[in-house]
Structure 1
Amino acid sequence: MGAESVPRREVVTGRPRTDLAGLPQPRPASAPGTDDTAVTALMRRQLRAALTATALLAVSLGLLPVLLRVLPLARTWPSVPLAVWLVLGVAPYPALLCTGAWYVRRAERNEGDVTAR
């Protein structure tokens, strides 16, 4: 009566760990054909590209207040909203798109140079 043993309850969350043949093998720490110097050089080139893109955007967007101050249309009252909206609402976007496209191409080229070795 009381001698019957009740099996212990188990929570199953996946396959048993004894079956390792079906699991993917762990990847090596670094990709084949690359070494620490190549990875370090890639990181430096990526950092240089990022800093260049940031500097280009900071200079081009940082000069917008100067452009608004120098703009001759900003001195006449009826044209002020139009000039401000054109400079602030339209001018930054081509600069952002061009800089972003340049950065993506540069980053992919940097990575392609390292993986092509």
Structure 2
Amino acid sequence: MNQADLEKKFFTDAVDYAKAHGRQFGVGAESEMREAAKRGAQDVFAKPAAERDKLIQQGEEAFKRMVDAMVSSANAKTEQFELRGDQLGENTFNSALGKLCPLWPFCS
């Protein structure tokens, strides 16, 4: 697996996990997730090969935690979040980010 493959894997796994919750990413959240996948893959491949498997596993779990937190925020249905069908948007992404930071690769 190379860096581009890992970036794609992080993102598509997150998309699939959101779909398993009956959700999909809106444009803004999709962009943020793609950026996190890119950053995560870059970070993994900046490390020695012996450390990569552990980091990949941490990344996979981090994307699941992020999606879970986004779904939880969307399900809260507070006035702050206006649900648009099954979409997880920027508001739910930012809410999850606020709860999970410093979660790598989402928080710098």
Please indicate the TM-score interval, normalised by the length of the shorter structure: 0.3 to 0.5
The alignment's TM-score, normalised by the length of structure 1, stands at 0.31
Identify, as 1 or 2, the structure richer in helix: 2
The alignment's TM-score, normalised by the length of structure 2, stands at 0.33
Q: Which has the larger radius of gyration?
A: 1
